[in-house]
Chain A
């Protein structure tokens, strides 16, 4: 049999990011790469700096130091994006250094998130990236209908056909298991779990390449969480999303994330394959964190 192609283009190159509000408040010297099609979980207790890091990564807050580089393929056809399992990437040896060099660089454009102008950055957030807030109220327009919420990003892209916007809205409601018959209802009439699914539909409708999620199952009942987790997994797979997921819940991280980064006091203490972090943690703090969880 042939050797599998395990290389993935680097989508986000995070270089030495520091954003401190005070000593050990915020995040410090964070360095990592997110590959296309990858779900990276950032775990840690509250105050560990994971939310600050997410805000910096998502373009909402400039770092004190460091760079966030977004590498986007310039001539990427739509079909290639859907078929994320077989990226036309360089095939090389095993080491990360070897994997990421070579042909990959060829048709990629680099975008330095905080070096480009605000216009460019905001357009990026609006068109190619997505952000799912913990509290759906922060991500939804509570005063307008579910359909308008889903359609907003499309309208921002210039879609001007009401009938099509509505059809897309209904299709997405079905996709996130909401009753399409409620397309004209305001989000405030929805339950918390339904609002969260609506927020996800609103974010994913433009098929972003990169999605940031901040405790997406955080405020929900356990029974609702499970359904949402399954839905997120399915969407990540079918849309070929790359995700940075912030969560304090190791069970959520286990089910969603391919890879984990453990943070404490603003710094990354350990990083690796999710199962390895949770089953064979190396760092003292990670061992404490993992052994403190009630359910495995």
Chain B
């Protein structure tokens, strides 16, 4: 495509972002500032993730983009098309076939492998922001490991609901050091962060922060001794593929209260159906 550098961003910008990524990988869970660029899409549409993807994408890479686990939602489709046009890379919906997976809200059900890179779109990178509005102060809190307030939030959940009611963006401690917001993935996906063989990168476009979890890094979800971390469970299995171990979306099927539960990960679901069928 004429008029654009490969993958839209100029090489200087990519180098700057890659340097920031190297730092992020070197300090797992630490938020690295970067000079975010204007992208041809509004904030909230994944500008952080797109810039990271653009910076790491090679001409031979195969790209997969998911939104809420699905490859066919508006956001996923438009980002996939974007990179098809500005980088001419091959795209896929198959988790196993992808080299780079950009995601919003989910980690694929199919286990990732070494060499794959998962790029998260992050709206609010700062896990302490809910309690502390000052950026200067939160950076200091990270530097000094003042993380008592994170448990205040969980305490408050239990006091109010009888259990830890936080179901997404559930805070984790990375490599025993930095408390990190894993972006708005459901806590169902938190265990997948731990010791994952893939590299996981997180980009926040509006806040111009990126962070990383290198492969095989210890990632613990915060909890209490008497209220240990638990993932969501469903009484149903997927209505389409029958899986009883995947994250399910509730889908309204008509105006009469009809509904069903299906896998949020469309590739996983379709692959299983192919196998089953």
Contacts and interface: CB of A to CB of B under 8 A. Distances in A.
CB atoms of A and B under 8 A apart anywhere in the complex?
yes
Tell me the dominant secondary structure on chain A's binding face: helix
B155 A162 contact: yes
Interface in B82-112: none
Interface string B147-159: 1110111011011
B226 A123 contact: no
A61 B225 CA distance: 37
B234 interface: no
Interface stretch (A7-15, A47-55, A152-160, A262-270): A152-160
A184 B155 CA distance: 10
Interface stretch (B22-30, B41-49, B138-146, B185-193): B138-146
B224 A160 contact: yes
B239 interface: no
B144 A148 contact: no
Given A118-B144, A123-B144, A141 B226 contact: no
Interface string A150-188: 011101110011110110000000000000000110000
A162 B226 contact: yes
B156 A156 contact: no
Contacts of B146: 122, 126, 156
Contacts of B156: 144-145, 148
Contacts of A119: 143-144
Nearest to A126: B146
Contact of A145 (B144, B159, B224, B225): B159
Interface residues of B, number: 21
Given A165-B155, A184-B159, A152 B149 contact: yes
A156 B148 contact: yes
Nearest to B141: A122
A147 interface: yes
Interface residues of A, number: 24
A3 B160 CA distance: 57
A144 B152 contact: yes
Most buried by A among B152, B153, B158, B224: B152
Given A161-B224, A161-B226, A162-B227, A148 B148 contact: no
B131 A148 contact: no
B159 A148 contact: yes
Nearest to A122: B144
Contacts of B155: 144, 147-148, 151, 155, 162, 165
Contacts of A151: 152, 155
A195 to B, nearest CB: 17
Interface in A174-208: 183-184
Contacts of A122: 140, 144, 146
A145 B131 CA distance: 13
Interface in B116-150: 131, 140, 143-144, 146-149
Nearest to A119: B144
A161 B225 contact: yes
Nearest to A154: B148
Contacts of B158: 162
A249 B150 CA distance: 39
Given A160-B225, A184-B159, A141 B148 contact: no
Nearest to B140: A118
A147 B149 contact: no
Contacts of B152: 141, 144, 148, 151-152, 155
Contacts of B144: 118-119, 122-123
A165 B227 CA distance: 12
A131 B58 CA distance: 56
Contacts of A163: 226
A148 B155 CA distance: 6
Given A162-B224, A163-B226, A155 B159 contact: no
B233 to A, nearest CB: 21
A217 B131 CA distance: 27
Given A148-B156, A156-B149, A165-B155, 7 more contacts: A145-B159, A160-B151, A160-B225, A162-B224, A163-B226, A183-B159, A184-B160
The 5 A-B residue pairs with the shortest CB-CB distance, nearest first, are: A156-B148, A155-B151, A162-B224, A155-B148, A119-B144
29 contacts: A118-B140, A118-B144, A119-B144, A123-B144, A126-B146, A126-B148, A141-B152, A145-B156, A147-B155, A148-B159, A152-B148, A153-B148, A155-B148, A155-B151, A155-B152, A155-B155, A156-B146, A160-B151, A160-B223, A160-B225, A161-B224, A162-B158, A162-B224, A162-B226, A163-B226, A166-B159, A183-B159, A184-B159, A184-B160
